[in-house]
Structure 1
Amino acid sequence: MSHQSGTPTHTPIGRVLGLSLALAAVLAVIVLAFSWPAVTAEPHDLPIAIAGPAEAVSAAEAAVDEQSPGAIAFREVDDRDAAVRAIETRDAYGAIVLGQEPEVLTSSASSLIVAQLLNTVAVQLEEGVNAQAAAAAAAAGAPTAPPHLDVPVTDVVPLADSDPRGTGLTAALFPLVLGGMIGGIAISVVVIGAMRRVTAVLVYSVVGGLALAGILQGWFGSLQGDYWLNSAGIALALAAIAAPITGFVALIGRAGIAVGPVVMLLFANPISAAALPKEFIPAPWGEVGQWFPPGAAATLMRELSYFPAADTTFPWLVLASWAVGGILLSIVGHFRTAGGAEPDAEAALEDARSEELAAA
């Protein structure tokens, strides 16, 4: 069969080169987005509680700051009990208790890498305390060296035996983000009608929350705490990711699908602080990540699992705001055109016409 006159038989070379360069640029952005937080990660202003005599506290703060400048922001508390409360409410990642019986408190459930950092601090503290004791004994002319003083390390909020390295809890976030994104995109493509999409997102989120909580908690043991709270948290996170996608599709058409891969996956997910504390991400991006669904979901699921005393108001509000915002966009898009017709509904009709013509 001969081609009609004037019909191009090949893609123009300019378009080929342009597409290749654009795809290479997208690849570079993806690599940069996912590798940048890990490559640039280093601790800064980690909140650590400290208790003890004023002179000892000042000396310990100076010694730690000399070893790791800017890594730790000490928060002075009254005693060991206050330090434990600060850890359990997630106001601090750990604590140093000074005095007659020095001790270092950690929380592997809050951050395993910070717990390891505090283990190093405990070793340095033990060396310093014994060196001071030996120097004082020598100055006093004591015939023998004082007994060696150990500085114990206590894990106040440990990880569960079913997830001793915390890898399950960390790994659970990516399927959650991917699930919310895929759900929003699939609903946008398959379901016609903004309000029907809202219904689909709500049903998908509730069922998905129940199913994922059952797998992650009941099967894998990655989540701890109350199953129904975990289910609600996952459901709200799915809705917070899926609803904005369907909302923007209702408002501007199929181009709104880009909200998922661009905003949620490439931008928000790398700065979510799911694998590292937000203090390891260059400022201000660690804090910025907590205002997006991936970061809020990561914080909420960790606190629901291990920190029942922590205030979870902020992550709940962030997730609810994104979910409600997406639903409102769908409502606006529904009434934006006469009769509630949406731009992508027209696109779907065009697709159907194209298929009929192709079949004919």
Structure 2
Amino acid sequence: MSTPIDTDVTPWWRLPILAIATSLVVGTVLLAFSWPAVTADAQHLPIGIVGAPEQIDQISDAIDEQSEGAIALTEYDDRDAAVEAIEQREVYGAIVLPVAQGEAPEVLTASAASAAVAQMLQGIATAQQQQIDAQIHATIEENLAATQERVATQIQAVIQAVIAGQTPQIPEGAAEPISIPTVTVEVTDIVPLADSDPRGTGLAAAMFPMVLGGMIGGIAVTLLVKPGGVRRVVALAIYAPVVGIVLAGILQGLYGALQGSYWLNASAIALAIAAISSTITGLAALIGPAGAGLGAAFILLVANPLSAATTPVEFIVAPWGAFGQFLPPGAAATLLRNLSYFPDADSSFSWLVLATWAAAGVALTFLDLPGKRLAAGETAAQRPLTV
């Protein structure tokens, strides 16, 4: 009696191949998530500046030398114009130079836009304060030296008069006291983070469950809803709003990570979920089950790391930071931050990006090419990855 051969046994030669392939996948995941953070280096951060032309020229040269291209200054006529630009997210902050001598400069920040940039501007304010203090100290030393020289001259004149037997002339009045001016650089946070999320960690952390929710929805609908086409679109139409309401309730109602209108935030999350989920179902409807894996990998390994949810777009190596804003996670991160803290900012681009991805994904899901191939008589054996 012959012993049956176990056809499920993995050949020995496949083991090193599986180990190498798996390690490459792990390395790719690590690179995808760590690369934006490790290579983060600010370039051309838009910062406003207000002041006289000669003042701006002087401080621009100093900032260019110190920042090495990290800051790009934009001139504004007055403080109000700079504040408006910050509230509309045209700049991350501004430097307001004094109009008259002896007045203090002011540094405007927006910690809700980026805590890292706000800290950088705080460093500029500290450097300005040190420069002002040094100038005041130098002026005091100069005045003190002049006073000491004048007093010494007067004392010498008195001594010479006494030696000559003359009546010395006593200087009338006391010496004028040396005034020490007080000039303090003021730092004003124009758009601060909410007390419920003082470090902005909740807003940044909101991105991962939203991306994960979109991926789970897209994969689940692809695997569980049969056949494709209209049924999957209806499933997405139900899933996205429900997830938007739930996530907004947790992030805003429970954690206080989101601000502003609850229903507007829920709508933004729902549209982001729809954009991510429909991308996955759309690719599955285009090339079959392999499309779901391809879509999930694209969202997780490409779109999510480039979303600029935790760092400003300008911190990601160009042109990838700007490219990330054309992808669902990047558009969603910008939109939620604007809705929470920058209602005056123009968010139409982010809404348009999410709507475009959602519409394209829904259109492909309706197309359902694998279903049409099955209806035409093609089998999985003929098209193993697409049917």
Structure 1 counterpart of 2:320, which letter? W
Alignment check: 8 A CA contact 2:288 2:370 kept: no
SS of 2:299's equivalent? Answer: helix
Aligned to 1:280: 315
Alignment check: 8 A CA contact 2:285 2:370 kept: no
Question: Matched residues in 1 for 2:376 and 2:125: separation?
Answer: 65
Alignment check: 8 A CA contact 1:251 1:342 kept: no
Greater mean alpha carbon deviation, residues 191-200 or residues 142-151 = 142-151
1:93 paired with 2:92, answer: yes
| Aligned residue among 88, 105, 119 for 1:102 | 105
Aligned to 2:129: 126
Aligned to 1:169: 203
Structure 2 counterpart of 1:147, which letter? P
Question: Matched residues in 1 for 2:277 and 2:36: separation?
Answer: 25
Structure 2 counterpart of 1:185, which letter? I
Determine which structure has the larger helix proportion and give its number.
1
Q: How does 1:319-334 map to 2 (within 5 A)?
A: 319-333=354-368
Question: Matched residues in 2 for 1:249 and 1:236: separation?
Answer: 20
Displacement after TM superposition at 1:146 (Å): 4.0
Aligned to 1:189: 223
Question: Matched residues in 1 for 2:345 and 2:3: separation?
Answer: 70
Alignment check: 8 A CA contact 2:260 2:340 kept: yes
SS of 1:337's equivalent? Answer: helix
Question: Matched residues in 2 for 1:227 and 1:53: separation?
Answer: 43
CA deviation digits over 1:288-333, x for unaligned, max 9? 1101001100000000000000000111011001000001111222
TM-score by length of 1: 0.90
Greater mean alpha carbon deviation, residues 65-74 or residues 182-191 = 65-74
SS of 2:286's equivalent? Answer: helix
Question: Matched residues in 2 for 1:267 and 1:302: separation?
Answer: 21
Alignment check: 8 A CA contact 2:50 2:82 kept: yes
Aligned to 1:115: 118
SS of 2:94's equivalent? Answer: strand
Gap change, CA 1:55 and 1:2, over 3 Å in 2: farther
Aligned to 2:275: 240
Alignment check: 8 A CA contact 1:37 1:270 kept: yes
Displacement after TM superposition at 1:261 (Å): 2.9
Matched positions, count: 346
Greater mean alpha carbon deviation, residues 56-65 or residues 157-166 = 56-65
Unaligned ranges ≥5, structure 1: 351-360
Question: Matched residues in 1 for 2:277 and 2:357: separation?
Answer: 9
State which structure, 1 or 2, has the greater radius of gyration over its C-alpha atoms: 2
Gap change, CA 1:239 and 1:340, over 3 Å in 2: farther
Question: Matched residues in 1 for 2:377 and 2:280: separation?
Answer: 14
Displacement after TM superposition at 1:123 (Å): 0.6
1:10 paired with 2:44, answer: no
Question: Matched residues in 2 for 1:199 and 1:9: separation?
Answer: 40
Structure 2 counterpart of 1:177, which letter? V
1:250 paired with 2:250, answer: no
| Aligned residue among 109, 126, 148 for 2:182 | 148
SS of 1:29's equivalent? Answer: helix
CA deviation digits over 1:251-297, x for unaligned, max 9? 21100112333210001111110000011111111111101001100
Question: Matched residues in 2 for 1:145 and 1:44: separation?
Answer: 43
Structure 2 counterpart of 1:92, which letter? V
Gap change, CA 1:91 and 1:13, over 3 Å in 2: same
Structure 2 counterpart of 1:321, which letter? T
Alignment check: 8 A CA contact 1:209 1:235 kept: yes
Alignment check: 8 A CA contact 2:287 2:369 kept: no
Displacement after TM superposition at 1:138 (Å): 6.4
% identical aligned pairs: 54
Greater mean alpha carbon deviation, residues 258-267 or residues 148-157 = 258-267
Question: Matched residues in 1 for 2:182 and 2:225: separation?
Answer: 71
Displacement after TM superposition at 1:148 (Å): 2.9
Displacement after TM superposition at 1:71 (Å): 0.9
